[in-house]
Chains A and B, each alone.
Chain A
């Protein structure tokens, strides 16, 4: 008994990876590979789409449209994330429990607010958007709230964790000096977590830009809207132009936040760009963005707070909610066994799609990650650097950024041109987006490993594959699995979205039910979706414990 426990403990990582691999292989069987999976004309379409990458439409009209759409996408991202920060700050502080000294109140508050934050982020922003549009109509607020709530949930959870992890000593010192709880928060906690908060927020801001781009799906003009229109006209060269703009925006934010993070961590006040202090420059840029974005939303987009709190919105929100519950109806889907059966099949399909997606992403990552880690490509990890390593490094890094800068939904819209509708195109779209993220994280993990044991292997004459298997893999396996589990959680949340464009699972049923105004079916789908996300949360927590 004890021995087997020991065995499990010793090999937990390997057992878990083996288990995950088995699940992935099982999920492959859910697809009938003997059927033709590609449309009869899919290959030709794929060729057309790929060719168009090299001839994007840079005509004046399209460029003009691109700039306007990029701006709108950015504006909504800024507005959404700024609200999210406020939400996250308030809820994060409350759920960290640092404001309360009484143990029981602390526990209760922490529990309640954790749950609220969890709920906020368990629903994808596009689903929030759809719900808001149904309740509030097509106002800019629908999109902004739809962004602010899930991002507030994610940021809030992280803020709360950061606050809880703050070292006790300075706080106790403040406490004993008689500082009030709020004084402790502002003078004790905040200065210590400020840097982490900023750098994590910057990372989420990059994600918010992508989310803002796909808000077009509910009727908001932006890059996603233009991509959708051009796809409808099968004008692939225009599609790529808009995608290039989106990618550039994401890369710009990525670079900016990287530099800012480095400067903040090193507390380097001297770094400058064009002779201007980078920190000050960043601060000014943020301020300008904030002001101009909100100005744009109120003045140009015509957002109106007063009409927002109107009787009319109250009436329609109430009506929408009672329709979701099915008040006064006798055909309530969530009380109907047949509907449940149908929804559970779709839930399984969705789960299946997420497993395929993470499997494909992992394969993609494993194939590409080795040349991409800086310490491998420059030879500092034992292997000699060959001339092609640098080139490979740059190409794959660019593919990583490119693939993750394009939101899953947009990948799905494109993939569906080539593959037949079903869970496979959905999984491929999700994998296209996620393998870049997984690759980047994993490359960083490799860059972070201790080089000495590997150098030893190298000097004792081990060749490249041997170095890989004995030196690198055991060291980074734990990190890889952690990232894979984490990305799987994110993917599961997004599977419903790719279903909107015909990629199967719960998402497609959601779209159909929305089109036909079958509200109680939507409730049922949402219930299944939330249960699935919760299940994934619990499961991944357990898996993380195993590999700890």
Chain B
């Protein structure tokens, strides 16, 4: 006991040595194992739903392509972009804006697939029902919440359409603008009464309504935005790591999702994936540039 400090230090040193040697063994294990193909998605809604959605899809892609596919959850939109940049995520389910950010930092990254609805995606503006709002400009003077800072349908496009209507999100709301963090949280905050109005992803709203989670006596949609391109699967330079043709195989697997994968697609609020390309997101890019989000 007298030499507790010294002993502790010795224990630590011995242990870090032991840890190093442990490490060598795991490292060589890694070399024998085949590489894991990692998919990720922006954490835009209820985490348990996202887990089921991506884990099931990872299994499906694995079966189709013969790769070992794993889903890596993230807590933050920008963390997914960073992981994609570092090549730690091979296939990412991005929003319009995060997809643009991701392809900006990785040369050769490609948007390969999306849901039919993503070609014509909408945001909905919701409000507490008794406010009886009719048009977008009615939000003036009320409290308002966006979703995540990096969200396309929860922040970028709603902000864009607000500005188009001559509203300034900085000064026209009651109090500072809030970022709830996710679409599900946005409607929950409006429903609970914490905020009077908010904007979110139409697909998330519809599925919440369908599942009967939202109390429509308390909160309702009063404005739907014009259409824009949104969510997409963006793939990294995978042929380098997994062999030539991997990108095509993965794309093929995504596009051939059909009746048999109905349960997976339900979690995506769609019935299939269709082809897309980088150029489809030019409009998003220019809006983001105009708002100073992308430089």
Smallest CB gap from B74: residue in A: A219
- With a cutoff of 8 Å between Cβ atoms, the chain B residues found around residue A216 in the complex are 75
Smallest CB gap from B288: residue in A: A516
Interface residues of B in 43-97 (CB under 8 A from A): 46-47, 74-79, 81-83, 86-88
Of the candidates B23, B47, B77, the one whose C-beta lies within 8 Å of that of A515 is: B77
Of the candidates A35, A45, A514, the one whose C-beta lies within 8 Å of that of B78 is: A514
Q: How far is the CB of A4 from chain B (nearest CB, A)?
A: 46
Of the candidates B24, B184, B192, the one whose C-beta lies within 8 Å of that of A45 is: B192
B294 in the interface (beta carbon within 8 A): yes
- A279 and B1 form a contact (CB under 8 A): yes
Interface residues of B in 240-295 (CB under 8 A from A): 293-295
A11 in the interface (beta carbon within 8 A): no
- With a cutoff of 8 Å between Cβ atoms, the chain A residues found around residue B196 in the complex are 40
Query: Roughly how many angstroms separate A36 CA and B194 CA in the complex, as a whole number?
Result: 13
- B9 and A41 form a contact (CB under 8 A): no
**Which of B117-125, B173-181, B222-230, B231-239 interfaces with chain A?**
B173-181
A352 in the interface (beta carbon within 8 A): no
- A137 and B88 form a contact (CB under 8 A): yes
A258 in the interface (beta carbon within 8 A): no
**Which of A241-249, A391-399, A416-424, A477-485 interfaces with chain B?**
A416-424
- A298 and B192 form a contact (CB under 8 A): no
- With a cutoff of 8 Å between Cβ atoms, the chain A residues found around residue B176 in the complex are 420-422, 502, 504
Q: How far is the CB of B116 from chain A (nearest CB, A)?
A: 28
- B12 and A86 form a contact (CB under 8 A): yes
Smallest CB gap from A194: residue in B: B5
Contact bitstring A501-519, B, C-beta under 8 A = 1, else 0: 0101000000110111110
- A40 and B193 form a contact (CB under 8 A): yes
Task: Label chain B's interface by main secondary structure.
Answer: helix
- With a cutoff of 8 Å between Cβ atoms, the chain A residues found around residue B26 in the complex are 298-299, 302, 304
Of the candidates B47, B150, B194, B295, the one whose C-beta lies within 8 Å of that of A417 is: B194
Q: A138-B79, A225-B75, A232-B47 are in contact. Are A197 and B5 (CB under 8 A)?
A: yes
- A420 and B77 form a contact (CB under 8 A): no
- With a cutoff of 8 Å between Cβ atoms, the chain A residues found around residue B149 in the complex are 511-512, 515-516
Which interface class (under 10, 10 to 19, 20 to 34, 35 or more) fits B? Answer: 35 or more
Smallest CB gap from B142: residue in A: A40
- A515 and B78 form a contact (CB under 8 A): yes
- B12 and A290 form a contact (CB under 8 A): yes
- A229 and B15 form a contact (CB under 8 A): no
- B79 and A217 form a contact (CB under 8 A): no
**Residues of chain A whose beta carbon lies under 8 Å from any beta carbon of chain B:** 35-36, 39-42, 44-45, 48, 82, 85-86, 89, 133-134, 137-138, 186, 190, 194, 197-198, 216-219, 225, 228-229, 232-234, 269, 279-280, 283, 286-287, 290-291, 294, 298-299, 302, 304-307, 312, 316, 331, 416-418, 420-422, 502, 504, 511-512, 514-518
- A137 and B76 form a contact (CB under 8 A): no
- With a cutoff of 8 Å between Cβ atoms, the chain B residues found around residue A416 in the complex are 178
- A291 and B5 form a contact (CB under 8 A): no
- With a cutoff of 8 Å between Cβ atoms, the chain B residues found around residue A85 in the complex are 8-9, 12
- With a cutoff of 8 Å between Cβ atoms, the chain B residues found around residue A515 in the complex are 77-78, 148-150
Of the candidates B15, B16, B185, B294, the one whose C-beta lies within 8 Å of that of A516 is: B294
Query: Roughly how many angstroms separate A299 CA and B176 CA in the complex, as a whole number?
Result: 45
Query: Roughly how many angstroms separate A489 CA and B157 CA in the complex, as a whole number?
Result: 41
Smallest CB gap from A43: residue in B: B193
Query: Roughly how many angstroms separate A518 CA and B101 CA in the complex, as a whole number?
Result: 11
- A45 and B295 form a contact (CB under 8 A): no
Q: A194-B4, A299-B22 are in contact. Are A232 and B193 (CB under 8 A)?
A: no
- B175 and A421 form a contact (CB under 8 A): yes
Q: A82-B12, A137-B83 are in contact. Are A233 and B143 (CB under 8 A)?
A: no
B205 in the interface (beta carbon within 8 A): no
Task: Label chain A's interface by main secondary structure.
Answer: helix
- With a cutoff of 8 Å between Cβ atoms, the chain A residues found around residue B15 in the complex are 290-291, 294
B201 in the interface (beta carbon within 8 A): no
- With a cutoff of 8 Å between Cβ atoms, the chain B residues found around residue A298 in the complex are 19, 22-23, 26
Excluding A232-B46, A283-B7, A294-B16, 20 further A-B contacts by CB distance (< 8 Å) are A40-B195, A41-B194, A45-B194, A85-B12, A190-B6, A194-B5, A197-B5, A219-B74, A219-B75, A232-B182, A233-B184, A233-B185, A233-B188, A283-B4, A290-B11, A302-B26, A306-B23, A420-B143, A420-B175, A515-B78
B137 in the interface (beta carbon within 8 A): no
Leading 5 A-B pairs by shortest Cβ distance:
A41-B193, A420-B175, A515-B149, A421-B176, A515-B150
Q: A421-B176, A511-B149 are in contact. Are A229 and B23 (CB under 8 A)?
A: no
Query: Roughly how many angstroms separate A499 CA and B95 CA in the complex, as a whole number?
Result: 25
Most buried by A among B74, B148, B178, B294: B178
Query: Roughly how many angstroms separate A515 CA and B295 CA in the complex, as a whole number?
Result: 13
- B86 and A316 form a contact (CB under 8 A): yes
Query: Roughly how many angstroms separate A197 CA and B196 CA in the complex, as a whole number?
Result: 53
- With a cutoff of 8 Å between Cβ atoms, the chain A residues found around residue B22 in the complex are 298-299
Q: A40-B143, A331-B295 are in contact. Are A232 and B175 (CB under 8 A)?
A: no
Query: Roughly how many angstroms separate A304 CA and B11 CA in the complex, as a whole number?
Result: 20
- B76 and A218 form a contact (CB under 8 A): yes
- A516 and B293 form a contact (CB under 8 A): yes
Smallest CB gap from A42: residue in B: B194
- With a cutoff of 8 Å between Cβ atoms, the chain A residues found around residue B174 in the complex are 36, 420
**What would 12 A/B residue contacts be, using CB atoms closer than 8 Å?**
A45-B194, A85-B12, A137-B82, A190-B5, A198-B4, A218-B75, A234-B192, A269-B1, A306-B23, A418-B194, A421-B176, A515-B149
Q: A45-B194, A304-B27, A512-B149 are in contact. Are A502 and B9 (CB under 8 A)?
A: no
Q: A232-B181, A234-B188, A516-B294 are in contact. Are A39 and B5 (CB under 8 A)?
A: no
Query: Roughly how many angstroms separate A134 CA and B189 CA in the complex, as a whole number?
Result: 31
Contact bitstring B1-35, A, C-beta under 8 A = 1, else 0: 10011111101100110011011101100100000
- With a cutoff of 8 Å between Cβ atoms, the chain A residues found around residue B5 in the complex are 190, 194, 197-198
- With a cutoff of 8 Å between Cβ atoms, the chain B residues found around residue A198 in the complex are 4-5
Most buried by A among B6, B87, B175: B175
Of the candidates B7, B87, B184, B294, the one whose C-beta lies within 8 Å of that of A232 is: B184
- With a cutoff of 8 Å between Cβ atoms, the chain A residues found around residue B150 in the complex are 515-516
Interface residues of B in 133-147 (CB under 8 A from A): 143
Query: Roughly how many angstroms separate A217 CA and B79 CA in the complex, as a whole number?
Result: 10
